[in-house]
Chain A
Amino acid sequence: MKRSLLTAALVTLCGAAWAEAPTLTVYTYDSFVSDWGPGPAIEAAFEESCDCDLVFVGAGDGAALLARMKLEGARTKADVVLGLDTSLIENAKATGLFAEHGIQPSGLSLPVTWDDSVFLPYDWGYFSFVYDKTRLSDAPDSFAALLESDVNIIIQDPRSSTPGLGLLLWVKAVYGSDAQTVWEALSPQIITVTKGWSEAYGMFLEGESDMVLSYTTSPAYHLIAEGDDTKAAAIFDEGHYMQIEVAAKVAGTDQEVLADAFLEFMLSETFQAILPTTNWMYPAVTPSGGLPDGFDTYSTQHALLIPAANVEAVRKEALAEWLSALSR
């Protein structure tokens, strides 16, 4: 018993002590580092030129990532944090743990202008309801149509999930002070609310609901990775709420030069071209070869985004409304 514990500890220790080249530690979310995410390809590409060891550390999802940084504080090993999003930016800045990037990003293909001095975007997406064309022939084309229909949905809990929070802000951005009424009207159509995206999406694929809250890019995964064109995103007239994923340099980093180089690399063609078919989001800079098939199908004129500085206040209010509407 004792020996196995000791061996386990030693093995991990040796693994950590092995690398001699300077190490750049990047904290990110779990799905970024997994074998199926962008992590491995990006690591290989960056290490070709940096003469360093790039280590990705996965820490739950975006919100868990920020909590982890707060927990570790200034003692953190992270040099770069990649994977926060627009709804977390203000909260993250308040910690004082992040440094200004000093980069003038050029050629960004976001639907909004970007002028944040601390965080740089690397990809983005629209939240949307995804459905199966073989099961739902007449998908709603607006929130209003959704409310009038008897289409049922599975959503994620805004208290534990990023898309869940996205929908909360989406409804608020569209309906403002009427949000609570809308949630009350929508309530009977909500099959269930899950802890995270994975459970909800899995349940949708099992046929538990007509639609699930996900991204407009989700059908592209099924098309490209599985050759399955039955999934589609319902495009809403009111517009779609955006999620912009961002990264920043950690203020206390001891690898300043490498961290800067990584942020530059992040907006490069190499990095950006890896993203669409691994992270299944729109790259922040459209690669010169354009986007893969399935990605350009959905574009909307109305990108919705609540300014980062207001998100915290809006979130609190919207969450209270959501809770009271759905707890009846």
Chain B
Amino acid sequence: MAVRAKSINPVVIFGGSAALLFVALLTVGPLIALWMRADVSTRLSGSNWSAIRFTVFQATLSAIISISLAIPVARALARRQFRGRALLLTLLGAPFLLPVIVAVFGLLAVWGRSGFVSQLLIASGGERISIYGLTGVLLAHVFFNLPLVARLILQGWGQIPAEHFRLAAQLGMRPADVFRRLEWPMLRGILPGAFLLVFLLCTTSFAVALALGGGPKATTIELAIYQALRFEFDLGKAALLGLVQFSICAIVAFWSLRAAVNANFGGGLSGAVKHWDASSQVLLWQDRLVLLGVSAFLGAPLVAILIRGVPSLGNLPVTVWPAAVNSVLIALSSAALSVFLALSLAAMIDLLKSRDSRLSSTVEGFGMLTLAASPFVLGTGLFIVIHPVADPFALALPITALVNAAISLPLTLRALLPALQRQRLVYGKLADSLGMSSWVRFRVAIWPEIRRPLGFSTGLAAALSMGDLGVITLFAPPNVETLPLVMYRLMGAYRIEDAASVGLVLVSLTLTMFWIFDRGGRLGHQS
């Protein structure tokens, strides 16, 4: 062990440290840049404090609801094989990939005051529903995050070897026992990270929270930052708010990562898992209902987006295509960079785990915190740093790719780290004792274990970058557009229907890209 560890250490530590430095520069760097440019000291106002309270409140609630609903969905997916399962798995990726504004209109088509549900209620003599307020905010955040969490938890189920379920069946364990002995220990390892991820994603929510939140009660810190940067040009206040947001997220990150207890289920032959524990009719119908419910909840807004987008597909502006090429280019670059960063960090976190678990979760926490950095602070900070030395316009696309990579890092890290850790727990000692070279170890032990999460997370990272308006608004040179930018510009010019069509093109491209990577990772595997 000691001999092998020595020959592997420098590369892993160097790669990991470089990735960590990069992450630190992108998260803390912009805050410092803003602070240095600010001329007056500012304090937080009363409305800032209520924004902070609301942000934490809705993010916590969103995370708890998303997770509670995702567990039965993941369990149903784990123990049932049915036609259309692969399609459902891909669709589970969809809501998360939707550009915010597209998703809002999809949700309103179903849940809005003139939406499908309201029409149905009115037709049957009832009242129309109004989701504006906390309900709307939570609805949107659960719509975005439930499927993501379900996929992450499903990965956890995949980590429990088939042999365990067989043994459980032989021992005559009831479903409750299986949950207590196998599923709960697995969940204890996965859920804290998933909670953190949703919390972070909902913290920086801004347009959704405001549009569906029904008024200034639903103000998030992100809006306050936007206001400080745009209307008041108070860089100091923006930096201060950015710091508050960052600190809250850091506390939640370290708290939740320390709460995670990784179970070691050992290895298995990775055969198909048969769930004897779930063979009763009651459980079968329970799973069917769960899957049907989640398909309808996620599918209906997607269908609405499709219906809205189709009519104007014929008169798409020509600028869509070069913008699409830009978007795809940025997405692929940022996905590659994000996965590279995640692997570097994951390798270091895994290595540290056995030596100093506190340091290890600190590094992991930092990897997650790029999501806590406000995109506005990030963009403005980078602009302040770059503008004196180089032309920001010339760097627009690379910078967008870089920032998108950093923002998707928590996702790729979340997906890859458990697989890498499991690989070491299961095969690490065997590989050491066999004296495997790094390459052989990678090919035989690591690759088969990480290829699925790798495909999934590359797809996610690429997709996230596709839909993001991000820093391109600050850096975009004349005549360089991305698809989301084209969409927003159409909306700004009254062309809501054309914008819906561009939205549909964007969603289709994104979903295809996600599908290719995700499917690529699962090819030849029993999934």
Residues of A within 8 A of B (CB): 1, 4-5, 8-9, 12-13, 15-16, 30-31, 33-37, 55-60, 63-64, 66-68, 70-72, 75, 157, 159-160, 165, 187, 190-195, 197-199, 201-203, 205-209, 218, 221-222, 225, 280, 322-323, 326-327
Residues of B within 8 A of A (CB): 47, 50, 101, 104-105, 108-109, 112-114, 130, 132, 136, 206-207, 210-217, 223, 226-227, 229-231, 233, 317, 319, 329-330, 332-333, 336-337, 340, 380, 383-384, 387-388, 391, 393-398, 401, 473-474, 476-480, 488-496, 499
Chain A residues with CB under 8 Å of B136's CB are 192
Nearest A-chain residue to B339, judged by Cβ: A1
Chain B residues with CB under 8 Å of A203's CB are 105, 108, 112, 211
Chain A residues with CB under 8 Å of B217's CB are 326-327
A58 vs B469: C-alpha distance when bound (angstroms): 14
Q: With a 10 A CB-CB cut-off, give which of B210, B215, B227, B499 has the most chain A CB atoms.
A: B215
A102 vs B307: C-alpha distance when bound (angstroms): 54
Nearest A-chain residue to B131, judged by Cβ: A192
Chain A residues with CB under 8 Å of B337's CB are 1
A-B contact pairs, 29 of them (CB 8 A): A4-B332, A5-B333, A8-B398, A9-B395, A16-B391, A36-B493, A63-B231, A64-B473, A67-B229, A71-B387, A157-B210, A190-B215, A192-B132, A192-B212, A195-B210, A199-B491, A202-B105, A202-B496, A202-B499, A206-B112, A207-B112, A207-B114, A208-B113, A209-B113, A225-B494, A323-B47, A323-B216, A327-B215, A327-B216
Quote the shortest CB–CB distance from B227 to chain A (angstroms).
Answer: 4
Chain A residues with CB under 8 Å of B496's CB are 201-202, 205
Across the interface, do A34 and B489 meet the contact criterion of CB distance under 8 Å? yes
A129 vs B112: C-alpha distance when bound (angstroms): 21
Across the interface, do A193 and B210 meet the contact criterion of CB distance under 8 Å? yes
Q: A12-B394, A326-B217 are in contact. Are A195 and B206 (CB under 8 A)?
A: yes
Across the interface, do A37 and B493 meet the contact criterion of CB distance under 8 Å? yes
Across the interface, do A72 and B387 meet the contact criterion of CB distance under 8 Å? yes
A15 vs B479: C-alpha distance when bound (angstroms): 10
Chain A residues with CB under 8 Å of B393's CB are 12, 16, 57
A-B contacts counted at CB < 8 A amount to 180
A64 vs B215: C-alpha distance when bound (angstroms): 22
A193 vs B398: C-alpha distance when bound (angstroms): 35
Across the interface, do B214 and A67 meet the contact criterion of CB distance under 8 Å? no
Q: A1-B337, A31-B492 are in contact. Are A192 and B231 (CB under 8 A)?
A: no
Chain B residues with CB under 8 Å of A34's CB are 489-490, 492-493
Quote the shortest CB–CB distance from A95 to chain B (angstroms).
Answer: 9
Chain B residues with CB under 8 Å of A222's CB are 494
Nearest B-chain residue to A17, judged by Cβ: B394
Across the interface, do A327 and B387 meet the contact criterion of CB distance under 8 Å? no
Across the interface, do A280 and B494 meet the contact criterion of CB distance under 8 Å? yes
Chain B residues with CB under 8 Å of A30's CB are 473, 488-489, 492
Can you list the 10 inter-chain pairs with the closest CB atoms, starting with the nearest?
A207-B114, A198-B491, A31-B492, A34-B489, A36-B493, A8-B397, A159-B227, A1-B336, A195-B207, A192-B214
Quote the shortest CB–CB distance from B413 to chain A (angstroms).
Answer: 18
Nearest B-chain residue to A328, judged by Cβ: B217
Across the interface, do A193 and B108 meet the contact criterion of CB distance under 8 Å? no
Nearest B-chain residue to A200, judged by Cβ: B211
Q: Which of A36, A160, A191, A202 contacts B230 (CB 8 A)?
A: A160
Chain A residues with CB under 8 Å of B229's CB are 67
Chain B residues with CB under 8 Å of A35's CB are 317, 319, 489
Quote the shortest CB–CB distance from B172 to chain A (angstroms).
Answer: 53
Quote the shortest CB–CB distance from A306 to chain B (angstroms).
Answer: 16
Chain B residues with CB under 8 Å of A193's CB are 210, 214-216
Nearest B-chain residue to A88, judged by Cβ: B231
Q: Which of B50, B112, B206, B210 contacts A327 (CB 8 A)?
A: B50
Chain A residues with CB under 8 Å of B394's CB are 9, 12-13, 16
A209 vs B112: C-alpha distance when bound (angstroms): 10
Quote the shortest CB–CB distance from A15 to chain B (angstroms).
Answer: 7
Quote the shortest CB–CB distance from B158 to chain A (angstroms).
Answer: 29
A70 vs B231: C-alpha distance when bound (angstroms): 11
Chain A residues with CB under 8 Å of B206's CB are 195
Q: Which of A33, A36, A72, A195 contacts B211 (CB 8 A)?
A: A195
Nearest B-chain residue to A34, judged by Cβ: B489
Give 20 new A-B contacts, CB below 8 A, not counting A35-B489, A57-B477, A160-B230: A8-B329, A9-B398, A12-B393, A12-B477, A15-B479, A16-B391, A16-B393, A30-B473, A33-B478, A34-B490, A35-B317, A60-B473, A160-B231, A187-B215, A192-B214, A195-B206, A195-B210, A195-B211, A208-B112, A326-B216
Nearest B-chain residue to A36, judged by Cβ: B493
Chain A residues with CB under 8 Å of B214's CB are 190-193
Nearest B-chain residue to A11, judged by Cβ: B397
Chain A residues with CB under 8 Å of B480's CB are 12, 15
Quote the shortest CB–CB distance from B394 to chain A (angstroms).
Answer: 5
Q: A9-B397, A55-B478 are in contact. Are A4 and B101 (CB under 8 A)?
A: no
Across the interface, do A199 and B396 meet the contact criterion of CB distance under 8 Å? no
Quote the shortest CB–CB distance from B46 to chain A (angstroms).
Answer: 9
